[in-house]
């Protein structure tokens, strides 16, 4: 955990009423890996300014080779951004770049595969996250932190559990953004407990079966306790032999529903194996879930029920707080602009210099990102869908409604 860089990170939030950013000083001396599910995306979604002052950077950092690619990517984005900024904003952008300059290229720590940075010199915001999964290279300057890439990562990499067991040992892991954390370990020593005493083979077998059963019921208790209150996608049951099905039979219904899959695996399986197998099941579960959501959306639309499609209707539903689930195609992107004062969003229309409603400053945005932020602020769930014909024909955007 020792990390030589001691640095004070500043965060501030410019709230709806805009003025006085409330400042909050955080010491983040050791920046260990952060699961993407732990990043407070709701808080980030509240941050915005009237000007384009928030820099968001996503970089893959898994290997040394990435570093030179990252450097040339950041250089070229930096140049492109400067070319379109006003003189006043160039100064603040340069200050922001000076703050992040070094930390963008910090040497990665074990297990780190990506880095996310949100920064703004003007509003004293600096968030740095080392993550265990690989993001696509992205660098954006906007009036708020750019959250869509993070939101998609969170959708795919929700935490899940892996229970690895045989008849004498059980280990429970929580896989968070591809980093396993061992949550519990139980074992019994069947042989030593029962070898002595000269029992008949039959009696020994009976005792052994009993011991396994009570061991498994302890495992079930532990599992329930560990999973209670944890926001997890579900649990993978892994291990050699028959004992897995014995355990499955003993699981209470509500736990059984959370089982993502049952797989044969050596009890000495490496963490890498656990993640590989677990990820496959977790992503399959994610795909099933999003397909179900997309189908629900389609059938609600067909029967004139509680759903809307397309940017305009979805925007209105979100603004009125009627959206329950915002459903987005993964590659949806709709150019438009937002008024940074009254928050009016227009898709596809040419960005006016000032807002026709309030005269406030406008900036070019991806409307999908704005809809996402609106969903976070209004407490709507967000689901990303890989592909869907119905969504694809409606700008990749839709919502299930509360009423």
Identify which of residues 159 and 346 has a Cβ nearer to Zn ion in the complex: 346
Identify which of residues 289 and 341 has a Cβ nearer to Zn ion in the complex: 341
Name the one range near Zn ion by CB under 5 A: 71-79, 86-94, 333-341, 372-380.
333-341
Identify which of residues 76 and 351 has a Cβ nearer to Zn ion in the complex: 351
Rounded Cα–Cα distance for residues 379 and 358 (Å): 27
On the CB side of 147, CA atoms within 13 Å amount to 31
**Helix or strand (DSSP H, E) at 161:** strand 160-165
Contacts of 32 (CB under 8 A, 6+ apart): 1, 3, 109, 130
CB of 371 to Zn ion, least distance (A): 17
Name the one range near Zn ion by CB under 5 A: 77-85, 98-106, 160-168, 336-344.
336-344
Name the one range near Zn ion by CB under 5 A: 72-80, 131-139, 269-277, 340-348.
340-348
Pick the binder of Zn ion from 53, 140, 141, 339 (CB under 5 A). 339
Strands of 301-391 (E only): list them. 307-309, 323-329, 335-339, 345-347, 362-366, 381-385
Name the one range near Zn ion by CB under 5 A: 46-54, 57-65, 133-141, 339-347.
339-347
Identify which of residues 300 and 340 has a Cβ nearer to Zn ion in the complex: 340
Residue 334 CA to its chain's centroid (Å): 22
CB of 338 to Zn ion, least distance (A): 9
Give CA separation, 222 vs 219, 244, 251, 257, 335, in Å: 5, 15, 11, 17, 50
Identify which of residues 143 and 167 has a Cβ nearer to Zn ion in the complex: 143
Pick the binder of Zn ion from 80, 84, 316, 342 (CB under 5 A). 342
Q: Strands 259-264 and 381-385: what pairing?
A: unpaired
Q: Quick one: tokens of 103?
A: 């930390």
CB of 87 to Zn ion, least distance (A): 24
What is the footprint of Zn ion within residues 347-366 (CB under 5 A)? 355, 357-358, 360
CB of 225 to Zn ion, least distance (A): 51
Name the one range near Zn ion by CB under 5 A: 31-39, 194-202, 342-350, 368-376.
342-350
**Token pair 């987005």 is at which residue?**
328
CB of 19 to Zn ion, least distance (A): 17
Helix/strand/coil for 17: coil
Contacts of 256 (CB under 8 A, 6+ apart): 248
CB of 148 to Zn ion, least distance (A): 23
- Which spans of this chain sit near Zn ion (rule: CB under 5 A)? 339, 341-342, 355, 357-358, 360
């Amino acid at each position: 955990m020792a990390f030589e860089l001691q640095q004070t990170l500043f965060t501030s939030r410019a709230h709806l009423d805009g003025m006085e950013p409330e400042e909050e000083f955080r010491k983040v001396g050791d920046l260990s890996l952060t699961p993407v599910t732990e990043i407070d995306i709701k808080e980030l979604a509240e941050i915005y300014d009237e000007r384009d002052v928030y820099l968001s950077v996503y970089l893959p950092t898994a290997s040394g080779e990435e570093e030179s690619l990252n450097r040339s990517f950041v250089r070229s984005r930096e140049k492109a951004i400067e070319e379109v900024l006003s003189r006043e904003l160039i100064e603040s952008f340069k200050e922001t770049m000076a703050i992040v300059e070094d930390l963008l290229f910090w040497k990665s720590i074990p297990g780190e595969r990506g880095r996310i940075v949100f920064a703004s010199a003007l509003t004293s915001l600096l968030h740095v996250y080392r993550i265990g999964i690989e993001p696509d290279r992205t660098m954006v300057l906007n009036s708020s932190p750019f959250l869509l890439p993070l939101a998609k990562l969170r959708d795919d990499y929700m935490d899940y559990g892996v229970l690895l067991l045989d008849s004498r040992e059980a280990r429970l892991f929580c896989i968070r953004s591809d980093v396993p954390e061992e949550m519990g370990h139980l074992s019994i020593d069947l042989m030593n407990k029962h070898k002595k005493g000269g029992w008949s083979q039959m009696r020994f077998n009976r005792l052994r079966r009993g011991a396994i059963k009570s061991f498994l019921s302890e495992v079930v208790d532990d599992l329930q306790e560990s999973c209670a209150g944890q926001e997890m996608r579900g649990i993978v049951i892994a291990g050699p032999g028959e004992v897995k099905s014995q355990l499955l039979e003993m699981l209470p219904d509500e736990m059984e529903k959370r089982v993502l899959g049952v797989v044969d695996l050596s009890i000495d399986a490496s963490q890498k194996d656990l993640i590989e197998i677990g990820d496959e099941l977790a992503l399959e579960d994610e795909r099933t879930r999003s397909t179900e959501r997309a189908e629900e959306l389609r059938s609600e639309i067909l029967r004139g029920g509680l759903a809307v499609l397309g940017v305009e209707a979805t925007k209105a539903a979100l603004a009125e707080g009627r959206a329950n689930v915002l459903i987005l195609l993964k590659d949806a992107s709709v150019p438009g602009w937002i008024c940074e004062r009254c928050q009016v969003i227009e898709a596809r229309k040419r960005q006016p210099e000032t807002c026709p409603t309030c005269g406030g400053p406008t900036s070019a945005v991806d409307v999908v990102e704005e809809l996402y932020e609106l969903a976070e602020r209004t407490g709507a769930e967000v689901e990303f869908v890989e592909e869907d014909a119905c969504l694809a024909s409606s700008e990749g955007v839709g919502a299930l409604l509360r009423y």
